Amino acid sequence: MSFHYFAGAACRALTARKDGPSLYDVCDPVLAGPASGDPHLAKFYKTALGNPALRILLRRAGLPELSDATRLTRLREALTRARDDAEPDWAALGRPLADLVDTIPLEHPKPPPVPFAGTMPRQAQIDGAIRDCAQHLLRSFRQNGFLPTYAAFNLIGDPDVRGRELIMALTGLNSRGYKNSSLLFNLARVFIARSQARGVINPPWTGIAEPMWEPVQIRHRSAYYDAFFIEALLSYVETGLASSTDATAAKRAIADMVDFCINISREEVRGTDGARFDVITALAPAPHPRFSRFFAQIKQDLGFGVYVPDCDTTACSISAAMQAGSNDPILDQPLLDFYAGYQVRAGINEPRVTVPLNDNIDYEGGVATWIDNLKGERPYGNDLDPTLNLDILEVSFRNLARWKILETPARLATVHRIIGFQKRLAASGAFANPRSHIYYLPELYSAYFGRCYAAFLSLPLAAQAAIDPDGDFDFIRHRVLSYVQGELMAAEMNVFDAALALIALGHLGADPRAFAPALNVIIAQLGEGGRRGPFRAYEWNKMKTPTRILVGGPEVTSAFVLMGLAVARRAMVGRG
């Protein structure tokens, strides 16, 4: 978006006619004075919502229905109970706010259709873009000592979180601070979405993945991100395009990131059977996440003090370490034994999924996200994401022999049940519905399925037959290809969408002629990142609670474009 767009949007927000009480008219009498009851609620309000810039932007954003004294009183009473009650009834106090959230007019992006662009870029252009992305990653690693990723808050929230889902979050999350932040963020999003401030907070964009143009972005490091940076640099070396100097620099960066993933970010936990396992936490202890001192304090104030390990970071880190040639003993753990304890078994195990924001899908056979730490803490409750389960399959295929999966009936059964979970997603078409996903978008699911499918095809035929006797992977492959070619690439794409499309198409064996639209988008947008890199920052993954938190960065875009172009190049060279 241009300066003129934001200037106009800000002017409209600042000069709009106020119609009803504002966010601050509602909250100041309860939360702006001396703290009482739970001090975090007032601290969060003053830190996140009461800052001067947001006050100015929202000062004319009013809700006419709150001119009704009864409704205004109910809302303030709910905030007071959230502040003062020792054990708040979150479902009851969340109801007045849930009713307001249901008035938000918010939908997922629906890019317009575009004609098929069948002319291929020149091979030299593709190779040049690969080198540009790799040079960006290596330069950033050299300058920072790591590859940074960024988080940014979009206060308008996620289209899939309506009043019903808000109640799910308030009752299913375990941390009171996290409940507080969900409550207040969702209150703020009503005032934003129904006012002229919406144009400033949530400007339109091209494609599906959201660009990260918020002015405040929180730089940090995580093993989950490093795992994919490892794969990107490995793919660069494998193209043969790297000079000897670049290849050496890439290998050094990879070695450092492998160490960060499986040593610095390692954490011991207990499985549901009491056995101890080493897993990987997404946010290592300070100072390793590389937050600035300012944002480290903000993170604490906003209720993100405790961060527990998760199944996805563990799977991706172990996979990346193995691909990089590591022989660390952590790779020898049969992680499927651990994951089995977090696998949903209808009517048998405890209700693993306490925050079922995507309850439109059948969880049977899926593995939940968050891992209880040794203290038994579970601040985020638990949820279940389809893409995470693809990562578990992928790392299982890479460790098939090491973990003796075919020789161990229980482990093979765990794999079969995850595959069954994925097949039902494909058969119903739910994988293409954004609501089915907690942390990702359908086009990213498609790319990750391609990555998983490639690991499956690398297995001996006898192993493939034992893992997938009914041909479920081929069934899912056809559904995913249909979505990528018939929906994603038939509409307007941005660079990140295009990179994910290439990863899916290349791994799933599509005709290389189908790559043309995505390749053209990437080559045409090369340089859009300005001084920060070849491309802009886009949404890689997200959180839907406490509000829409996007994660990505220019380095992330370069990594995924590099991987997409490398996969496409390999397929094109092979066909040639």
Tell me if 116 is assigned to some domain.
no
The amino acid present at 540, given as its one-letter code, is W
Q: Same domain for 250 and 340?
A: yes
5: tokens are: 């767009």
Within a domain: 29? yes
Contact call for residues 426 and 412 (beta carbons, < 8 A):
no
The count of domains in the chain is 2
Q: Which of the four pLDDT bands, split at 50, 70 and 90, describes residue 302?
A: low
How many CB atoms within 10 Å of residue 37? 16
Residues in the chain, overall count: 576
Residue 463 belongs to domain with CATH number: 1.50.10.20
Q: Are residues 245 and 183 in the same domain?
A: no
Helices 386-398, 442-457: inter-axial angle, 10-degree rounding: 20
pLDDT tens, 148-197?
A: 999 998 999 999 999 999 999 999 999 898 999 999 999 999 999 999 99
pLDDT at 206 over 80: yes
On whether both 184 and 291 belong to a single domain, the answer is: no
On whether residue 290 sits in a domain, the answer given is: yes
Residue finishing a domain among 168, 201, 234: 201
pLDDT at position 42 is 92
Residue 34 pLDDT class (50, 70, 90 cuts): confident
Residue 302 DSSP symbol: T
**Within a domain: residue 76?**
yes
φ/ψ of 556, rounded to 5, equals -65, -45
- Cα separation, 278 vs 260, in Å, equals 14
**Residues 469-478 pLDDT 10s:** 999 999 999 9
**Assigned domain for 230 exists:** yes
**DSSP sequence for 463-491:** HHHHH-TT-HHHHHHHHHHHHIIIIITTB
Residues of the chain above pLDDT 70, percent: 95
Q: Are residues 138 and 194 in the same domain?
A: no
- Residue 521 belongs to some domain of the structure: yes
Q: At what angle do helices 123-144 and 516-525 cross, to 10 degrees?
A: 50
pLDDT of residue 214: 59
Based on the fold, state whether residues 371 and 344 are members of the same structural domain: yes
pLDDT of residue 136: 98
| Residue from 84, 77, 81 nearest 39 by CA | 84
pLDDT > 60? residue 576: no
Is omega for the bond preceding 215 within 30 degrees of 0, making it cis?
A: no
Q: What is the CA radius of gyration of the chain?
A: 24
Same domain, 430 and 322: yes
| Nearest-angstrom CA–CA distance, 412 and 336 | 9
Q: What is the pLDDT of residue 351?
A: 80
| CA atoms in the 13 A half-sphere facing the CB of 475 | 15
- Residue ranges making up the domain that contains 29: 3-110+160-201
117 found inside a domain: no
pLDDT at 291: 65
End-to-end CA gap in the chain: 40
Give percent above pLDDT 90 in the chain.
80
Q: What is the pLDDT of residue 150?
A: 93
What's this model's pTM, rounded to 2 decimal places?
0.94
Whether residue 294 is predicted with pLDDT greater than 60 in this model: the reply is no
For residues 61 and 207, state if they share a domain. Answer: no
Point out which residues pair with 270 in neighbouring strands: 276
- Token reading at 496: 């990140």
Range in 51-55, 238-242, 291-295, 557-561 the model is least confident about? 291-295
For residue 64, pLDDT over 80 is answered with yes
Return mean pLDDT, the chain: 93
81-91 b/e (C-beta count within 10 Å ≥ 16 → b)? ebbeeeebebe
Same domain, 250 and 175: no
Are 328 and 197 part of one and the same domain?
Answer: no
Instruction: Identify the pLDDT of residue 35.
Output: 72
- For residues 365 and 513, membership in a common domain is answered with yes
403 & 339 share domain: yes
What is the DSSP-derived secondary structure letter of residue 351?
-
User: Average of pLDDT values for 527-554?
Assistant: 93
In the predicted model, is pLDDT for residue 348 greater than 80?
A: no
Q: Hey, what are 246's tokens?
A: 């670049």
Q: Per the domain annotation, does 118 fall within a domain?
A: no
What is the C-alpha to C-alpha distance for residues 414 and 405, in angstroms, rounded to an integer? 9
Confidence (pLDDT) at 575: 61
- Indicate whether 84 and 141 sit together in one domain: no
- Partnered with residue 542 across adjacent β-strands are 550
pLDDT over 90 at 318, yes or no: yes
